[in-house]
Amino acid sequence: MTDPALDTETDTDTDTDTDTEIGIEAFRERALTSLTTARERTTLLTSCVEEPDLTAQHSPLMSPLVWDLAHIGNQEELWLLRAVAGQEAIRPEIDNLYDAFEHPRAERPSLPLLPPAEARRYAAEVRGRALDVLDGTAFHGTRLTEAGFAFGMIAQHEQQHDETMLITHQLRRGPQALHAPDPEPVPLFTGPSEVLVPGGPFTMGTSTEPWALDNERPAHRREVPPFYIDTTPVTNAAYQAFIEDGGYDDPHWWAADGWTHIRRHSIHAPAFWRRDGRQWLRRRFGVTEVVPPDEPVLHVCWYEADAYARWAGRRLPTEAEWEKAARHDPATGRSTRYPWGDADPAPEHANLGQRHLRPAPAGSYPAGESPLGVRQLIGDVWEWTASDFLPYPGFTAFPYKEYSEVFFGPEYKVLRGGSFAVDAVACRGTFRNWDYPIRRQIFSGFRTARSGDV
Give DSSP secondary structure letters for 382-451.
Answer: EEEEEEEE-PPTT----S-TTTTGGG-EEEEEEEES--TTS-GGG--TT--EEE-TT--SSSEE---EEE
All residues at 6 or more sequence positions from 85 whose CB lies less than 8 Å from its CB, including other chains: 129, 133, 137
Tell which residue, 444, 211, 432, 448, has the closest CA to residue 327.
432
Tally of CA atoms within 13 A in the half-sphere of 425 that contains its CB? 25
Confidence bin at 454 (pLDDT 50/70/90): very low
Distance of CA 166 to CAs 78, 81, 103, 177, 441, Å? 24, 27, 21, 11, 10
Does residue 218 have a cis peptide bond before it, meaning omega lies within 30 degrees of 0?
yes
Q: What does the pLDDT average to over 170-195?
A: 95
Give the strand pairing for 382-389 and 444-445: parallel
> For all residues of the chain together, what is the average pLDDT?
94
Confidence bin at 9 (pLDDT 50/70/90): low
Q: For position 26, what pLDDT does the model report?
A: 93
Per-residue pLDDT for 162 more than 80? yes
Per-residue pLDDT for 10 more than 50? no
Question: How many percent of the chain have pLDDT more than 90?
Answer: 93
Distance of CA 438 to CAs 209, 229, 323, 359, Å? 32, 24, 23, 21
Per-residue pLDDT for 122 more than 90? yes
Per-residue pLDDT for 3 more than 60? no
d(CA 141, CA 399): 15
Does residue 116 have a cis peptide bond before it, meaning omega lies within 30 degrees of 0?
no
Q: For position 74, what pLDDT does the model report?
A: 98
Q: For position 66, what pLDDT does the model report?
A: 98
CB 368 within 8 A of CB 339: yes
Per-residue pLDDT for 105 more than 60? yes
CB 206 within 8 A of CB 334: no
Q: What does the pLDDT average to over 70-87?
A: 98
Tell which residue, 163, 446, 189, has the closest CA to residue 322.
446
The 10 Å Cβ neighbour count of residue 151 is: 29
pLDDT in tens, 256-300: 999 999 999 999 999 999 999 999 999 999 999 999 999 999 999
Q: For position 23, what pLDDT does the model report?
A: 87
Burial of 93 (0-12, 13-18, 19+ CB in 10 A): exposed
Q: What does the pLDDT average to over 372-394?
A: 98
Least confident range of 18-27, 92-101, 190-199, 335-344: 18-27
d(CA 65, CA 116): 9
SS3 letters across 2-46: CCCCCCCCCCCCCCCHHHHHHHHHHHHHHHHHHHHHHHHHHHHHH
pLDDT in tens, 407-427: 999 999 999 999 999 999 999
Q: For position 386, what pLDDT does the model report?
A: 98
Burial of 83 (0-12, 13-18, 19+ CB in 10 A): middle
Buried b (16+ CB within 10 A) or exposed e, 242-264: bbeeebbeeeebbeeebbebbee
Confidence bin at 406 (pLDDT 50/70/90): very high
Radius of gyration in angstroms for the set of CA atoms belonging to the chain, rounded to a whole number: 22
CB 9 within 8 A of CB 207: yes
CB 308 within 8 A of CB 375: no
CB 381 within 8 A of CB 359: yes
- Which amino acid type is present at position 334? R
- Read off the pTM: 0.94
Per-residue pLDDT for 140 more than 60? yes
Per-residue pLDDT for 2 more than 90? no
Per-residue pLDDT for 403 more than 80? yes
